Amino acid sequence: MGREVHFRTNRSMSIIYMGYFITLSGLDGSGKTTQCLKLKKMINTGITVNVIHFKKVDSFPYLFIAKKGSTIYCFKNIKDIVKQRSILSAYIFCEKANDLISWSQKSFDLTIIDRYYESALCYHYLRGELSKELCEIYSQLIKTDLSVFLDISPDKCIERLARRSTLSPYETKEYLEQAHYFYHTKFKSFWKIDASLSPDEISHQIYSKIIKAYFKGHL
């Protein structure tokens, strides 16, 4: 699984092996983290897999913490006016995320990410901060080979979130409905899966897609 990336230097042609890059997106409570963990356990056909979790930080909803194994990357911002703060955090996130993803693609056959730029843009939208400039910054992130969207209703998410001991300010029906609208109107390239299905049914659908890509050599 993966592909060879060719680039020319002054003296010769160099070849770098790059693994495939898949992201899982969806509303809070849609099952992203569950699916990432299940897929890593299921994919045991000689494919090396790295799972990266980009999790929102409740005190800074538009920033993320990335965990790579036992290493935690915390992307902090500077307390400034809202626009400058959100733009700065976007630049920092994109730079650090690209470094992490590039390393993962060179080191593993498959990189699976829990949340990506779509989640970041959604939180900017919910805070009334979304702008053309922010969209341009996030467009600098490494492009995915497959973007999976776990599609589920806000009402179903509320049922699932009720089982959690603590909730973020954005895990309310009002915000989930706004996020649902944003995801469905702004992103057309998602491969959507009915996230109201059982976790096993969902993971088998994604697994089948990945395995087909493995044998065909492309997604």
> What domains does the chain contain, in order, with CATH numbers?
21-200 (3.40.50.300)
Dihedral sign of CA atoms 82, 183, 219, 112 in order = positive
What are the tokens at 39?
């897929």
What are the tokens at 166?
């603590």
* pLDDT given at position 215: 63
Q: Digits of tens for pLDDT over the chain (219 positions)?
A: 555 443 333 444 444 557 889 999 999 999 998 999 899 888 866 788 899 987 654 434 444 445 444 444 454 444 444 566 778 778 888 888 999 999 999 999 889 999 899 998 998 898 888 888 889 999 999 999 999 999 999 999 999 998 887 777 778 889 999 999 999 999 988 999 999 999 999 999 998 888 776 666 544
* pLDDT given at position 62: 40
Q: What is the pTM of this model?
A: 0.77
* pLDDT given at position 45: 67
**Beta strands, E only, the chain:** 3-8, 13-18, 20-26, 49-57, 60-68, 71-74, 110-114, 146-151, 191-194
What is the DSSP track for 49-89? EEEEEEEEETTEEEEEEEEETTEEEE-------HHHHHHHH
